Structure 1
Amino acid sequence: MDKMLPAKGLRVLITAGASGIGEAIARAFAEADAKVLVCDIDANALERLAADVPGILTVVADVSDEAAVTAMLEDARVKLGGLDVLVNNAGISGPTGRIDTLSVEDIRRTLDIDLLGQFLVVRQAAPLLRQSEAGAIINISSVAGRLGYGLRTPYAASKWGIVGFTQSLAKEMGPDGIRVNAILPGIVRGPRIESVIRARAEAEGISYADMEKQYLANVSLRRMVEPEDVAGLSLFLCAPAGANISGQAISVCGNVENI
């Protein structure tokens, strides 16, 4: 069973880790005796997390800001003493609507945070990860990275991009002993999916309850995913049992068939 959990003392950086999936991942690694640094744009949420989970380190950073990413990786180098695991979790939901109704600003912002942000973080994390004996990158994508998602094209494009980014990085960084995988969460319980369902319901002119039923009808298990489900897979991918898993896009979604 020891092979199912990460080694103690791993140095882990998690982006957007003060709430939702990122928070669940941060808590899981902290419970597994990792050294955890969490970034987020919400300083108050970071303060609450640090107070609730003693030992977690925090830094305010926007992953779409190259200077902020530079400062964050310097924090990882100094405060963690290096880096073994990067969890690229930062992302936004993006706009909902037909392509010709979306503003260029909203499209660009979604791509900058959800996709370019992962490039910027990995670009500067790579030298630290190459010095690790257990280097691993987990890029958080979405089931929208394997399925078409009408009315949510910027978000889907970024999540498909993350899968290609992941598979390419796995080939590039494999010779350095660094494993790279993507996790594709489905309908994850929490405020974000509630806002997505609400926006789509408004766009299609139906009630929130009816829109939620449509979402869940497309899930074989007919239920939402919990953030802790994604956290559990993250731990496994960094454990000895996951030592030969790389270049994969793994869904945690209850088998979403359509969105």
Structure 2
Amino acid sequence: MSRVLITAGASGIGRAMGGAFDAAGFEVWVTDVDDAALADCPAGWTCHAASATDEDATARVIAAMGGIDVLCANAGVAGPTARVEDVALDDWRACVSVNLEGAFLAAKHATPLMKAAGRGAMILTSSTAGIHGYPNRAPYAAAKWAVIGLMKTLAMELGPFGIRANAICPGAVEGPRMEGVLAREAAAKSMTRDQVYRGYAAGTSMRSFVEARDVADMAVFLGSDAARRVSGQVIAVDGHTENPDPRP
């Protein structure tokens, strides 16, 4: 049975990825820092409490798998919503650490097992913020751009070993995390939550948010043999973001 590891896999996009890979016949391994969400995962999944930024914990989980066919480096945090001059250095570092270093550590420790197998797929979760840049989200946008640079390098470096790497860029995804972003942006811009929501939706050609399952379905495709010649690609699942500045 093929094995997939999903970081931050106990809720949100990661949970949807787990469900989609499970339905596709994969053995699902998950790491997360949310103990309650981990306890609520399906009984057939192998779940570990581990931070994406903890190298020792990441290495132990991947070693315990014995082999890995697909890596979904999905861990991320929204970071602060503030003008660049108001961003505290500690907040910058915390955001970049989870979003970028977490992906690096997962890829670093998955690589030897994939090289040994002569195949594998790495799927890094970036964001439309990694394509456009977003006002008042400097740490997040910078980290998500860097995730794409990491992915492109992995694709070039690991391709000769039969290992593919791609990045998914979700747009605004319905759920608790996005609700927090909406609330912070509303406060920062003296707007209502609904005004900010409408601004995000209006900035897409499909005039809508996306759902976690939309991102999960793309991850399963990229991890499958149907995408065996797809590597080094940045694929947005966002309803086509035209204007990343969420103003109505």
- Verify the 8 A CA contact 1:14 1:89 in the aligned structure 2: yes
Task: Report 1:66-81 matches (<5 A).
Answer: 66-77=55-66
Measured in 1, the distance between the counterparts of 2:48 and 2:124 equals: 19
Structure 2's unaligned 5+ residue stretches are: none
Do residues 250 (structure 1) and 235 (structure 2) align? yes
Residue 153 (structure 1) aligns with: 138
Measured in 2, the distance between the counterparts of 1:175 and 1:189 equals: 38
Q: Secondary structure at the match of 2:117?
A: coil
Whichever residue aligns with residue 204 of structure 2, its letter is V
How far is 1:134 from its partner? 3.8
Whichever residue aligns with residue 57 of structure 1, its letter is T
- Verify the 8 A CA contact 1:97 1:151 in the aligned structure 2: yes
Residue 24 (structure 2) aligns with: 32
Q: TM-score scaled to structure 2, two decimals?
A: 0.96
Structure 1's unaligned 5+ residue stretches are: 1-8
How far is 1:168 from its partner? 1.0
Q: Secondary structure at the match of 1:131?
A: helix
- Verify the 8 A CA contact 1:63 1:121 in the aligned structure 2: yes
Whichever residue aligns with residue 31 of structure 2, its letter is C
Task: Report 1:117-136 matches (<5 A).
Answer: 117-136=102-121
Q: Which moved more, 1:232-241 or 1:184-193?
A: 232-241
- Verify the 8 A CA contact 2:62 2:68 in the aligned structure 1: no
Task: Report 1:115-194 matches (<5 A).
Answer: 115-194=100-179
Do residues 63 (structure 1) and 52 (structure 2) align? yes
**Matched positions, count:** 244
Do residues 19 (structure 1) and 11 (structure 2) align? yes
Q: Secondary structure at the match of 1:230?
A: helix
Q: Which moved more, 1:189-198 or 1:68-77?
A: 68-77
Measured in 2, the distance between the counterparts of 1:88 and 1:132 equals: 19
Measured in 1, the distance between the counterparts of 2:90 and 2:64 equals: 31
Q: TM-score scaled to structure 1, two decimals?
A: 0.92
Task: Provide, for residues 78-98 of structure 1, a one-character-per-residue CA deviation record: whole Å limited to 9, x for no partner.
Answer: xxxx11110000000000001
- Verify the 8 A CA contact 1:63 1:69 in the aligned structure 2: yes
How far is 1:199 from its partner? 0.3
How far is 1:39 from its partner? 0.4
Measured in 2, the distance between the counterparts of 1:97 and 1:107 equals: 11
- Verify the 8 A CA contact 1:84 1:133 in the aligned structure 2: no
Q: Secondary structure at the match of 1:237?
A: helix
Do residues 196 (structure 1) and 168 (structure 2) align? no
Residue 37 (structure 2) aligns with: 45
Counterpart pick for 1:110 among 87, 90, 95: 95
RMSD across aligned C-alpha pairs, in angstroms?
A: 1.0
Q: Secondary structure at the match of 1:183?
A: strand
